[in-house]
C-alpha cells in the first residue's frame, strides 16, 4: 500500500473523531489493523494527530489541535467541495 492510501485513511479517522470524542476501545476495534502496510491508528498517533486521556475511569480518544489543522489543510476547497459525491447505483 502506498502512503497515499494510509494518508486517506488517516483523514477518514480524523473526520470520524472530529464528530466527537470516542472511547479508546471503540477506536481500536474499528481502526487498529494487524496489517503492517496499513498502520492507520499507529500513524495518526505517531504524528500527534490524535490524543488519549483517562477521564472518569474511561480512556478517551480525541482529535488534537494538530489533527484538526491537518484535517482543515487536507480538505478540498471551492464549489465542488460542497457538493455531495455522485454515486453510481
33-44 residue pLDDT tens? 767 667 888 899
* Gap between the Cα atoms of 47 and 84, Å rounded: 29
Q: Give the pLDDT confidence score for residue 88 in this predicted structure.
A: 46
Least confident of 14-18, 33-37, 47-51, 82-86: 82-86
Specify the pairing of strand 50-55 against strand 22-23. Answer: unpaired
Cα 30 to Cα 15, 22, 48, 88: the distances in Å are 14, 11, 19, 26
- Domain ranges in the chain? 3-75
CATH, domain range 3-75 = 1.10.10.10
State the angle between helix axes of 65-74 and 3-17 in degrees (0 to 180), rounded to the nearest 10: 120
pTM assigned to the model: 0.74
- What is the per-residue pLDDT across 55-65, written as a single tens digit (0 to 9) for each? 989 999 999 99
Amino acid at each position: 500500500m502506498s502512503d497515499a492510501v494510509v494518508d486517506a485513511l488517516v483523514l477518514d479517522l480524523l473526520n470520524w473523531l472530529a464528530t466527537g470524542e470516542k472511547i479508546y476501545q471503540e477506536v481500536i476495534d474499528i481502526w487498529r489493523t494487524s496489517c503492517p502496510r496499513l498502520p492507520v491508528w499507529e500513524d495518526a498517533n505517531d504524528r500527534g494527530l490524535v490524543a488519549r486521556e483517562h477521564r472518569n475511569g474511561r480512556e478517551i480518544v480525541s482529535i488534537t489541535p494538530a489533527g484538526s489543522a491537518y484535517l482543515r489543510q487536507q480538505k478540498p476547497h471551492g464549489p465542488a467541495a460542497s457538493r455531495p459525491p455522485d454515486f453510481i447505483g
